[in-house]
Structure 1
Amino acid sequence: MYTLTNIDQYHFPSGPDSETYVLEAHRTAAGLATVSSDQALSLFDPSRVGSGPLASLRTDHGNVTTMRAFDAATGVVCTAGEDGSVGVWDLRAGASARVARFRAGQASILSMACSPSTQTIAVGTELENHAASIHLWDVRSTPSPKATYSEVHSDDITSLAFHPTRPQILISGSTDGLASVHDTSVPDEDELTVQTLNHNASIHDAAFLNDTEVFALSHDECFAVWDVAEERVGGDAIKDFGDLRKVLGCQYVANVVTKVDGSGAILGAGAQDKQNFELIFLSKAANNEWALDLDNRVVLPGSHGSEIVRSFCFFDDEQVVFTTGEDGNVKAWRAG
């Protein structure tokens, strides 16, 4: 077990009726980007978060629901929200950071994935008028719709992620309990879905761990891994961890960050009653089976107090972990 120390933090001002929630944080070349419930996209210098945002930009989505790094290496991020709109921001550009804005549809956007290699943004919507849709947009120069799929899920689409090396492949997760793998190069929606995985619970997060294996995490913290290689067409998980609240002794899992080298992922698990948040590594054991490394968990004592941690991200070169929470704080953590 390893313990990190809180070395810096910034508190967003509270709203008139409630605390400001810091919803997400992502690493970019321009700095640490966050979105918060006061509808702000903020950029921080990761070496001095406590000094406050370098820039604070109004997102204008009604309520902002999600953010993704479009191209972290160039400081371009995307935000989306309740009114069905998407904003594309170049965080190096200061006050004129928003370089594009478009409306994918009328329904609230709940999930988003970005593919810089194909200049594509995918967004997933909540169920409205008996349909939950995935919209694909090309964001080169003037954003334009590429495709809309409205029959792949029967409820809110809560998670989207592109394949790490084949950007035409997309995985979606929904509150209908399904995680589905799609080949977006197929024009016919009836032939779009390559595999459907039944997690039997509303899905909070789903993504590729590597070229052939995916995970799904449910809203009631059940976690499993599937092999979706072409030769494995069965729907059974190759590793079902069950309820992580029992496995990890936590109350919730904030999110799962996959490793870019395909070696696994890091799960962020919290317990409000213990004022504790931990990072647990998922990797393959000696028997080539996926396992959680419970002996080498990383502990962030005190966490965000009794409030929920909404996200975490890493600045590996600086060996700093950042967390955001419903207490209105962005916190920086480092070993020692």
Structure 2
Amino acid sequence: MYIATSLGNIQLWDLRTPQKFVVQFTEKKEEGSSNDLKTLACFNASANNRLLTAGTELYKGEAFILFWDIRNTTLMGGYWESHTDDVTQVVFDPNDADKLMSGSVDGLINVYDVKHTNEDDALMDSFNTESSVEQLCWYSNKGKDFISCITHTADVQLWSPDDAEPYAHFRRSDITKAMKRKSEAHCYVAGAHRLLGNELLILAGSNWNDGEHLKCMSTSNKKLESFGTLKENRQRVRCSVFNQYHNLLMTGGEQGILNVWNVNLNV
């Protein structure tokens, strides 16, 4: 299990020996280095477990994407020219270990070929959400990669790498309507998860009545539709993980409760 700390480190833990982490990835190149550590805002490992990457908060006017070889804790290098504000997401393509996307408060979604150490050569695509990126997710449709983006204003954008504009854009008002709620202010988007096949699971909730309105939604045919309610939820969900092979959804929230749901995906 990987854990990022507030000290600018990423630690790898073996759950069988919880007394101490196995290895630690840090920006410091040697013991006793006086280099300032940048504050990490996100991290991700490639599907083949060879590369580890992290995005940083703005540091001396620059936002960094850092890389480590998982077999070696020494920092390999980084990119720092493509974003102008905190990097909030770094996500490797699960089907291509050399493809990485990043999102930022500056509103950009950037896609890189990380085989290139030079950032200009690595940058493949850049998309402007005209908002602030909170969460990114890769998903596939008919063998082609697509990107879902949740913004800090609770919008959901769906992007094709071939287009300069999102092919679908669900605003907070659209999500509220699909949830059959009245107040936009009470509704939020908790996460987006790739499913087996061609579907995307959107998890959206409402703060009303201790958060009991937690909905699973699909995006078929550019429409947002609810296909189930997780009725026993009693908190605002802050994070979620989905196992697409067993249809298990894990949620954690503001009340400190960790729930595991068996989701019936009749979509």
Identify the TM-score tier after normalising by the shorter chain: 0.7 to 0.9
Which structure is richer in relative contact order (CA contacts within 8 A, separation 6 or more)?
1
Q: How far is 1:311 from its partner?
A: 1.9
| TM-score normalized by the length of structure 2 | 0.82
- 2:50 maps to 119
Counterpart of 2:200 (choices 255, 265, 277) is 265
Given that 1:207 and 1:214 are in contact with CA atoms closer than 8 Å, whether structure 2 keeps it comes out as: yes
| Residue 225 of structure 2 corresponds to residue 293 of structure 1 | yes
Distance 1:334 1:225 in 2: 26
Question: Aligned residues: percent identity?
Answer: 24
Report the counterpart of residue 138 of structure 2 in structure 1: 208
Aligned pairs (5 A) from 1:176-255: 176-210=106-140, 211-228=144-161, 232=162, 234-243=163-172, 244-248=175-179, 249=181, 251-255=187-191
Cα 1:207/1:320, change in 2 over 3 Å:
closer
Whether the 8 Å contact between 1:111 and 1:158 is mirrored in structure 2 is yes
Aligned-partner Cα distance in 2 for 1:127–1:201: 17
Matches for 1:58-137 after TM superposition, within 5 Å: 77-91=1-15, 93-96=16-19, 98-104=21-27, 106-137=37-68
Q: Give the number of the structure whose residues are more often strand, by fraction.
A: 1
1:207 CA displacement: 2.2
Secondary structure of 1:191 counterpart? helix
1 CA distance for matches of 2:244 and 2:58? 38
Q: 1:312, 1:271 → 2: CA distance? A: 15
Q: CA RMSD in A?
A: 2.4
Cα deviation, residue 163, structure 1: 1.1
d(CA) in 1 for partners of 2:197, 2:20: 32
Q: Unaligned 5+ residue runs, structure 1? A: 1-76
Q: TM-score, normalised by structure 1?
A: 0.66
- Confirm or deny: 8 A CA contact 1:263 1:283 kept in the other structure: no
Q: Following the alignment from structure 1 to structure 2, what is the Cα–Cα distance between the partners of residues 312 and 189?
A: 32
SS in structure 1 of the partner of residue 239 of structure 2: strand
Mean CA deviation greater in 149-158 or 269-278? 269-278
Q: How many residues align?
A: 245
Once residues 87 and 199 of structure 1 are traced to their aligned partners in structure 2, the CA distance between those partners, rounded to angstroms, is 32
Q: Secondary structure at the match of 1:152?
A: coil
Q: Secondary structure at the match of 1:185?
A: coil
Counterpart AA for 1:217: I
Q: Mark the CA change 1:115 to 1:318 in structure 2 (over 3 Å): closer, same or farther.
A: closer
Q: 2:12, 2:22 within 8 Å by CA — same for their partners in 1?
A: yes
Q: Could you tell me which runs of 5 or more consecutive residues in structure 2 were left unpaired when the two chains were aligned.
A: 29-36
